[in-house]
């Protein structure tokens, strides 16, 4: 296929999946999908190979869906499907490693010929069970488990599945509505694809898929071949549940193939922070891509040269029926573990670890005045790690890519008042390039009755480490006005007058703080990112805050003392 034709077809394919995702988001019933963008969407060929993905979405969803489609087709082979069939599952071991993440796959037919699949994964507001916490001891406690099933058969809804969902979730309207928005997204993508095939006189996307996937694979292998053969290792410690978790990473490069092995990592735990291998692959391959091939398309071809393994029964390859509801509290740290392994080999391409584990908050109860039950979930971000030439990003969700929900939306959809939402000064790790800042959120609940508070929070005990002389960021904290001791991964009932404050962790710094340009430090202090005392202590810079100038002689003397 000539380059010009390929570029045109590729652009149209990307436009198609972007329209698929946009339609899904516009139709969504929840801020989780509509504002936060906790979804992924993609197009697959008849063989179940992902060809293209939408620009929105999370690596945990899209990369696990890429391999999950193979599991779906094992249950329902392509030849067994007919027009009007729609498939559904939330099997953690086959898709996104959590029951809340529902995958919908729709076969697209031109006449009676199957030409492609459109699939998407979205986080459901509720799935029953214990809700948003990690205190389950098995997946049976975490909600309703949907095997790979037909949601629609030959155009007719399988009502039993909808009835089971309605009876087992706390917010049936929102869950039911979002499932239909997922169906709509796939339908829109399918219509766009059929118009695209007709315009270019194509019978299906098989030949185009072969070309795209083949070129992607070649590009990925070329990037791997440019690296030095050998092994690269890194060990990262995080809070865990009752005891710290160790992620032990070994990257092996052999010519044009790369292997990531997590042998030596902690074993599975009897709580809901275990990770299924599908999700481990998803975030490990994302970390590899960020380091060596951010400009190469993400599809079947980019996965082929990379192998990801973890010992069965370990926290990164949990066996059924392990509890997995908070799997991102471990899985989201894998890109940092991968980058840490490459820290010496590719220092210009990696960044220090950040807060990594997305902070999820759920509050439910009875609204003051109306007596109505409410249930609301949102996600918040701390600071990312710094990298060579750039400070870490503040209050930014990496590696998940999920957007923060605006205060106005939170307060409009739930009886909550966000008293304060601001960047948390000094939370980023000092360095030649400092870590990104976390944020502080203070929450009041408008209720006269005790309410349920649940959260999935990490880096309360273990801070994000710096790299190449950079220092660690600050850990997170959970505070209340009445001094109730909140646990970071367990739900609890709080008195009606309880005001909760979340202080989110910052990212690690990159390079020695003493090498930071004093003018950068001055700007940090001016903008409230760094306090004058910490500027002196961490960076060896003395600032005259009356005139907002650097005291050059005092700075020179202080730095000489610190070096000595």
Work out the average pLDDT over 451-469. Answer: 96
Query: In this model, does residue 564 exceed pLDDT 90?
Result: no
Residues 182-193 as b or e (16 or more Cβ within 10 Å = b): bbbbbbbbbbbb
- Match 């390079």 to its residue by tokens: 511
Provide φ and ψ at 455, rounded to 5°.
-150, 155
Q: Is the CB of residue 337 less than 8 Å from the CB of residue 247?
A: yes
Sheet of 451-456, strand order: 373-380, 359-366, 451-456, 492-494
Sheet of 477-480, strand order: 416-423, 439-445, 499-503, 477-480
Query: In this model, does residue 563 exceed pLDDT 90?
Result: no
pLDDT of residue 57: 83
Query: In this model, does residue 149 exceed pLDDT 90?
Result: yes
DSSP single-letter state for residue 432: S
- Match 């009755």 to its residue by tokens: 449
Query: In this model, does residue 131 exceed pLDDT 90?
Result: no
Q: Is the CB of residue 474 less than 8 Å from the CB of residue 506?
A: yes
Domain positions in the chain are 3-217, 352-512, 519-563
From residue 138, alpha-carbon distances to 265, 331, 445 in Å are 21, 18, 31
Cα angle vertex 204, ends 199, 205, to 5°?
Answer: 95
Q: Is the CB of residue 182 less than 8 Å from the CB of residue 29?
A: no
Cis peptide leading into 399, omega within 30 of 0? Answer: yes
pLDDT of residue 1: 76
pLDDT tier for residue 27 given thresholds of 50, 70 and 90: very high
| 72: Cβ contacts below 8 Å, ≥ 6 apart | 48, 87, 89, 94, 103, 105, 119, 148
67-117 pLDDT per residue, tens: 999 999 999 999 999 999 999 999 999 999 999 999 999 999 999 999 999
237-279 pLDDT per residue, tens: 999 999 999 999 999 999 999 999 999 999 999 999 999 999 9
13-22 pLDDT per residue, tens: 999 999 999 9
With CA atoms as reference, report the closest residue to 336 among 277, 400, 241.
Answer: 400
pLDDT tier for residue 225 given thresholds of 50, 70 and 90: very high
pTM above 0.85, yes or no: yes
State the first-to-last Cα distance of the chain, in angstroms, to the nearest integer: 65
């Amino acid at each position: 296929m000539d380059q010009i034709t390929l570029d045109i077809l590729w652009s149209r394919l990307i436009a198609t999946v972007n329209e698929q995702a946009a339609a899904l988001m516009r139709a969504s019933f929840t801020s989780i999908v509509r504002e936060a963008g906790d979804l992924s969407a993609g197009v697959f060929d008849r063989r179940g190979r992902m060809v293209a993905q939408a620009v929105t979405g999370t690596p945990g969803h899209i990369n696990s869906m890429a391999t999950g489609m193979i599991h779906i087709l094992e249950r329902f082979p392509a030849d067994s499907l007919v027009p009007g069939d729609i498939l559904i599952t939330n099997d953690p071991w086959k898709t996104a490693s959590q029951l809340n993440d529902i995958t919908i796959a729709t076969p697209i037919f031109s006449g009676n010929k199957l030409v492609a699949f459109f699939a998407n994964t979205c986080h459901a507001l509720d799935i029953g069970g214990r809700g948003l916490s990690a205190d389950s001891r098995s997946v049976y406690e975490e909600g309703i488990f949907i095997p790979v099933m037909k949601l629609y058969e030959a155009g007719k809804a399988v009502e039993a599945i909808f009835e089971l969902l309605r009876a087992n979730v706390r917010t049936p309207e929102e869950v039911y509505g979002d499932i239909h928005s997922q169906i709509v997204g796939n339908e829109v993508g399918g219509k766009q694809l059929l118009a695209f095939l007709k315009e270019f006189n194509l019978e299906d996307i098989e030949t185009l898929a072969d070309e795209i996937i083949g070129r992607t694979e070649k590009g990925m292998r070329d990037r791997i071949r440019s690296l030095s053969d050998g092994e690269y290792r890194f060990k990262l410690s995080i809070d865990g549940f009752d005891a710290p978790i160790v992620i032990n990473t070994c990257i092996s490069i052999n010519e044009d193939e790369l292997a990531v092995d997590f042998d030596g990592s902690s074993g599975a735990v009897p709580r809901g922070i275990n990770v299924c291998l599908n999700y481990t692959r998803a975030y490990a391959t994302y970390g590899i891509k960020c380091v060596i091939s951010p400009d190469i398309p993400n599809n079947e071809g980019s996965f082929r040269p990379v192998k990801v393994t973890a010992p069965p029964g370990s926290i990164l390859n949990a066996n059924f029926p392990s509890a997995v509801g908070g799997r991102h509290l471990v899985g989201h740290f894998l890109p940092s573990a991968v980058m840490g392994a490459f820290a010496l080999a590719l220092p210009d391409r990696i960044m220090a670890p950040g807060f990594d584990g997305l902070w999820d908050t759920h509050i439910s109860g009875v609204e003051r005045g109306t007596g109505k039950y409410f249930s609301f979930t949102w996600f918040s971000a701390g600071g990312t790690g710094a990298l060579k030439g750039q400070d870490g990003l503040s209050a930014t969700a990496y590696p998940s890519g999920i957007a923060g929900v605006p205060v106005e939306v939170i307060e409009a959809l739930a009886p909550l008042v966000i008293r304060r939402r601001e960047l948390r000064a000094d939370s980023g790790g000092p360095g030649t390039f400092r870590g990104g800042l976390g944020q502080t959120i203070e929450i009041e609940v408008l209720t006269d009755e005790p309410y349920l508070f649940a959260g999935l929070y990490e880096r309360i005990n273990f801070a994000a480490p710096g790299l190449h002389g950079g220092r660690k960021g600050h850990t997170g904290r959970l505070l209340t006005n009445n001094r109730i001791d909140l646990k970071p991964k367990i739900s609890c009932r709080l008195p009606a007058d309880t005001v909760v404050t979340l202080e989110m962790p910052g990212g690690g710094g990159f390079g020695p703080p003493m090498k930071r340009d004093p003018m950068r430090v001055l700007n940090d202090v001016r903008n409230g990112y760094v306090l004058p005392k910490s500027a002196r202590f961490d960076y060896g810079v003395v600032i005259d805050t009356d005139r907002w100038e650097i005291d050059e002689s005092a700075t020179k003397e202080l730095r000489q003392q610190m070096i000595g």
